[in-house]
Structure 1
Amino acid sequence: MKLISLIAAAFLRCTLLLLLGVVLLIPTPAQADIVTLTAADNGKQVQLNVGDQLIVRLPTISPRFGWRLTQTYPGQLTVTTTHSLPGLSSGVPGAPATFEIHFQAVGTGGLDLALISAQPGTGYSSLGGFFRVFVTIDKPGVAKNVNVTEYGNHSSVKVNKGDQLAIRLDNTAGSQYQWEVMPLADNVIQLIQPPTPQPAKKPKKKAKAGSEEDVTFQFQALNPGKTTLRFLYRNAANNEAPPKRDFELEVEVPEPPK
């Protein structure tokens, strides 16, 4: 009888160990992260994964005032909630109130996330009524399109091998000045599409001389490394004239995970 009890106990232990091993082998789904930004993060680069939440907290002079997005980001970032709270930490000591906006990362890509004070000139803090961060959203095994505007001048961006990188710069239709990309001395990224004008308004009609339009340069990340993209806004009719303005972007392509 004692022998039967010992055998039963041993069998029970083996069964429990086997079940435990099966449970440990079952992969657990990755949990989404929550990333919180304050005024102190102005100008920084933020890395998210699809499914992550992004919270931006910015100071205001009272709960009646807030911040608004300069544009929407369909297919990438979705606004879930917005509200103003008194006394919540905003990255600026002593701020009377804080405006808080929640986002959900829903798709891959890279974007300039820019907000301006809802009441220009009344923003509280050294932000001067403008807040900007550069956001990249990844999903394992999926290439993404990264879009950088002129707000990203003199900043940096990280893209993966195979990603598309679009640089959109402000231009004036009919002007003698044109954007020119400086030659790249490495094989980190390459220009895959010449600049294409994109009128800001009424794209079906030809842009009138003197009106604003965007010019987009399309690149692709080829190999791991670091490089600098540089553009000059030059007078096409006079190569000796100094450039009117420039645009620089530090680009990093990290080593792919092994």
Structure 2
Amino acid sequence: MKLTSLTAAVLLRFSILLLLGVTFLSPTSARADIVTLTANDNGKQVQLNVGDQLTIRLPTISPRFGWRLTQSYPGQLTVTTTNVLPGISSGVPGAPATFEIHFQATGTGGLDLALVSAQPGTGYSTLGGFFHVFVTIDKPGVAKNVNITEYGNHSQVKVNQGDQLQIRLDNTAGSQYTWEVMPIANNVVQLVTPSPTQPAKKAKRKAKAGSDEDITFQFQALNPGKTTLRFLYRNAANNEAPPKRDFELEVEVPEPPR
């Protein structure tokens, strides 16, 4: 009888310790978040961590039509599945169907995530056939490269101290117009000048005059604060001429965690 009571007490104590161990260990286990966006989130900034899942639901005129990405994002966002479903919420009341696309955050960085209606002019939405959000993907202790295109004009972006910020603007090959960076008011970010000693890359075919090409500006986030980066598309042969267009981006570098 004493042996049975002792055995029961030992088993009870072991069970309590085991439960406590599970309680102590469970908060430290990594858990990926699932972030869902609808048409109401058009133009917003989204924060993800590596491993998170992102779902975007947009209205469409029928299950036969959907949306498509304007570009791919290798090493950062991977498309896992796409569906066109009737009756699911897209953020637009009365939409006949919803296009749903699922992503997995696979690497750090910042990017303009843009989608256009698969049938321009026929898509049922209040978005005008265009959806855009800015996505940043973080991983603790890892600096990231943040890439902005002209889709991000007049928007805001948050980057961490040490991050690289790359702005890619549309240009016309052979044109007298060129992009010019306006002076930066403070020491929050700094324009990085490409090193002339960089290894030579494989020569690219020269762009044909009048064709579209990109010009890229690279910055580094130096200090906490806020600043505005502004670019003007000017006639290089006539400084008095008004700029043809401009690009503006508000940049915030938060205080690093202590």
| 1:25 CA drift (Å) | 4.4
Amino acid of the structure 2 residue aligned with 1:244: K
Question: What are the within-5 Å matches in structure 2 for residues 231-250 of structure 1?
Answer: 231-250=231-250
| 1:28 CA drift (Å) | 2.3
| 1:238 CA drift (Å) | 1.1
Partner in structure 2 of residue 117 of structure 1? 117
Q: Which runs of 5+ in 2 are unaligned?
A: 195-202
Amino acid of the structure 1 residue aligned with 2:179: W
Between Structure 1 and Structure 2, how many residues are aligned?
248
Partner Cα distance (1:93, 1:55) in 2: 19
Partner Cα distance (2:20, 2:96) in 1: 54
| 1:229 CA drift (Å) | 0.4
Secondary structure, counterpart of 2:40 in structure 1: helix
Partner Cα distance (1:78, 1:103) in 2: 5
Question: What are the within-5 Å matches in structure 2 for residues 1-258 of structure 1?
Answer: 22-26=21-25, 28-193=28-193, 204-258=204-258
Secondary structure, counterpart of 1:193 in structure 2: coil
Partner Cα distance (1:190, 1:116) in 2: 33
Partner Cα distance (2:209, 2:233) in 1: 17
Partner Cα distance (2:151, 2:185) in 1: 25
Partner Cα distance (2:18, 2:209) in 1: 74
TM-score, normalising length: structure 1: 0.89
Partner Cα distance (1:102, 1:17) in 2: 41
| 1:24 CA drift (Å) | 4.6
Partner Cα distance (2:53, 2:22) in 1: 29
Alpha-carbon spacing, 1:99–1:12, altered in 2? closer, same or farther (3 Å): closer
Secondary structure, counterpart of 1:218 in structure 2: strand
- TM-superposition CA deviations, 1:74-129 (whole Å, max 9, x none): 10000111011111100000001001000000000111111111111111122111
| 1:209 CA drift (Å) | 1.7
Amino acid of the structure 2 residue aligned with 1:114: A
TM-score, normalising length: structure 2: 0.89
| 1:134 CA drift (Å) | 0.7
Partner Cα distance (2:103, 2:94) in 1: 25
Q: CA RMSD in A?
A: 2.1
Partner Cα distance (1:164, 1:172) in 2: 26
- TM-superposition CA deviations, 1:51-95 (whole Å, max 9, x none): 000000000111111111111111000011101111110000000
Partner Cα distance (2:41, 2:19) in 1: 44
Partner in structure 2 of residue 198 of structure 1? none
Secondary structure, counterpart of 1:101 in structure 2: strand
Q: Which runs of 5+ in 1 are unaligned?
A: 195-202
Partner in structure 1 of residue 198 of structure 2? none
| 1:237 CA drift (Å) | 1.2
Partner in structure 2 of residue 200 of structure 1? none
| 1:193 CA drift (Å) | 2.6
Amino acid of the structure 1 residue aligned with 2:100: E
Secondary structure, counterpart of 2:151 in structure 1: helix
Partner Cα distance (1:249, 1:185) in 2: 13
Amino acid of the structure 1 residue aligned with 2:224: P
Partner Cα distance (1:178, 1:166) in 2: 17
- TM-superposition CA deviations, 1:231-252 (whole Å, max 9, x none): 0011111111111100000101
Partner Cα distance (1:12, 1:65) in 2: 62
Identical pairs, percent: 84
Secondary structure, counterpart of 1:151 in structure 2: helix
Secondary structure, counterpart of 1:88 in structure 2: coil
| 1:30 CA drift (Å) | 2.3
Partner in structure 1 of residue 199 of structure 2? none
| 1:17 CA drift (Å) | 6.4
Partner in structure 2 of residue 197 of structure 1? none
Which consecutive segments of 4 or more residues in structure 1 shift more than 3 A?
Answer: 11-27
